[in-house]
């Protein structure tokens, strides 16, 4: 996740630092405060590489105005390119919904909760309390006859409602969401490695653990 050392100049004379795709997103959205803007014409140019800040500055020049940004400078041009690539994620990778989620995770410097250590547990649905303490709430589902001496006694049949938490469906949904995020990272990594047009960064092949809930797989990676 950390930035590596400076590498040698490439064929275009650029000296760029190596960085993982996850760290690149965190740099762009958390450090540079880049924004995913679906309405910016510069981000709607076909493909992954719109004009970004350059487009906006040109438009401001046409208007003959300068926007007062409250003292905060625009994001680094590379951060703008990262935000543009995220904003134009294809639908097969989650589209706009995934773009917003990826930006939010990057700003918080975290990953989707995959319920890595989740264990399904049997829990009591409801509780009741009195002066003697707290106990599981019960429900009457019928009666049964008991023989007590020479008498037949009707006795209520009580059950304690329970549930299982988290459910298998909840765990599965969380892990599918993590894998979808991971797949979007792969898409962005491939895009930046193919285009090689970031001026400050060279995206490496480093990735977070694909299935952190699989302890054996996590050890091997």
Distances (CA, A) of 190 to 74, 164, 187: 26, 41, 5
CA distance 86 to 104: 11
Domains of the chain by residue range: 17-116+168-220, 121-165
State the pairing for strand pair 127-130/162-165: unpaired
The SS3 of residue 153 is strand
Q: Is the pTM of the predicted complex or chain greater than 0.95?
A: no
pLDDT digits (tens, 9 = 90+) for 90-100: 999 999 999 99
Residues sharing a CB contact under 8 Å with residue 111, sequence separation 6 or more, in sequence order: 22, 105, 178, 181, 208
Measured in whole angstroms, the distance separating CA 72 from the mean position of its chain's CA atoms is 27
Query: Which pLDDT value is given to residue 1?
Result: 44
pLDDT digits (tens, 9 = 90+) for 100-143: 999 999 999 999 999 999 999 999 999 999 899 999 999 999 99
């Amino acid at each position: 996740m950390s930035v590596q050392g400076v590498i040698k100049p490439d064929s275009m004379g650029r000296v760029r630092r190596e960085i993982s795709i996850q760290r690149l997103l965190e740099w762009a959205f958390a450090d540079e405060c880049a924004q995913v803007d679906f309405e910016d014409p510069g981000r709607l140019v076909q493909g992954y590489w719109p004009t970004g800040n350059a487009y906006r500055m040109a438009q401001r020049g046409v208007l003959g105005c300068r926007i007062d940004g409250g003292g905060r400078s625009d994001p680094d041009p590379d951060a703008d390119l990262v935000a543009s690539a995220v904003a134009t994620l294809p639908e097969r990778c989650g589209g706009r919904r995934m773009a917003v989620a990826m930006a939010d995770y990057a700003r918080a410097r975290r990953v989707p909760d995959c319920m890595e250590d989740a264990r399904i547990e049997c829990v009591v649905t409801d509780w009741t309390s009195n002066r003697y303490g707290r106990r599981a709430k019960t429900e009457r589902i019928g009666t049964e006859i008991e023989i007590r001496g020479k008498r037949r006694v009707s006795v209520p049949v009580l059950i304690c409602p329970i549930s299982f938490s988290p459910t298998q469906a909840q765990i599965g949904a969380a892990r599918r969401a993590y894998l979808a995020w991971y797949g979007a990272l792969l898409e962005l990594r491939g895009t930046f490695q193919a285009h090689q047009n970031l001026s400050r960064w060279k995206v490496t092949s480093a990735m977070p653990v694909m299935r952190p809930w699989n302890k054996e797989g996590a050890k091997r990676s």
